[in-house]
Amino acid sequence: MLNEILSYREMCNIESVQTLQRGMNFNINPHYSIILMSRRPNAPYHDRILEDGFTLEYEGHDEAKTSPSINPKGLDQPKYTKNGTLTQNGLFIKAVEEYKNRKNCPELVKVYEKILPGVWSLKGVFDLIDYRSENDGRRNVFIFTLKLSEQQGLTSEISEPEHTRLIPTEVKKEVWKRDNGKCAKCGANKNLHFDHDLPFSLGGTSLTAKNIKLLCARCNLAKSNKIE
């Protein structure tokens, strides 16, 4: 479910995998890829949501650290492995090029975001539409552009219009702390997700914690689409 709060193990169980150690997971499922993102201050990569609220930029991943003397942050991000096969960066780049050359539809990518240690949230399903290479002052990195997809059905049967705008990470963190990681209605700490008080479809905003609260699945179902 979009904006559902998950533990790491719950996230892996949803995707039917033992572990999700890589940030980029191309075609981990026959129907989509997965990326893990974090915009926390100590995050190793510079991921960001653009001002339109529907588009995110995701930084590619570094060369593997194969010895203590290697500093991946000083090396260009790789497109190929030493054996000549495509890295995860390369696979995502190939998907973008095939889309831009009209050979394929955009690759669907499920994006999970790390909110706090041990706390993850499904950001949504995105279309992978572009990439670029840029110098960050030390080395060349890949920047991938993803736009919120119309195919949110990958996440659940729920597709309310209120979920068509992304809730910023800082808002999610503020709501989580304010509501003490519990349902604002009943105090439950299971099956939680971020919910709009005033639905986005009725003019509610995703940009302030005042319009967002934690609800469990049962209380959300009882609320439906009513304004309280």
Q: Evaluate if pTM is beyond 0.85.
A: no
**CATH assignment, 160-228:** 3.40.1800
198 compared with 88, residue with greater pLDDT: 88
Q: Measuring CA to CA, how many Å separate 192 from each of 38, 68, 228? A: 20, 41, 19
Q: What does the pLDDT look like over 90-126, one tens digit per residue?
A: 999 999 999 999 999 999 999 999 988 888 998 889 9
What are the residues whose beta carbons fall under 8 Å from the beta carbon of 146, sequence distance 6 or more? 55, 56, 57, 58, 109, 111, 126, 127, 128, 129
- Note whether 1-159 and 160-228 share their fold: no
| Per-residue confidence band for 161, with pLDDT thresholds at 50, 70 and 90 | very low
* pLDDT band, residue 1 (cuts 50/70/90): low
Could you give phi then psi for residue 5, rounded to 5 degrees?
-95, 130
CATH superfamily of 1-159: SRA-YDG (2.30.280.10)
What would the pLDDT profile of 176-218 be if each residue is shown by its tens digit? 999 999 999 999 998 898 988 887 666 678 888 989 999 998 8
| Domain extent listing, the chain | 1-159, 160-228
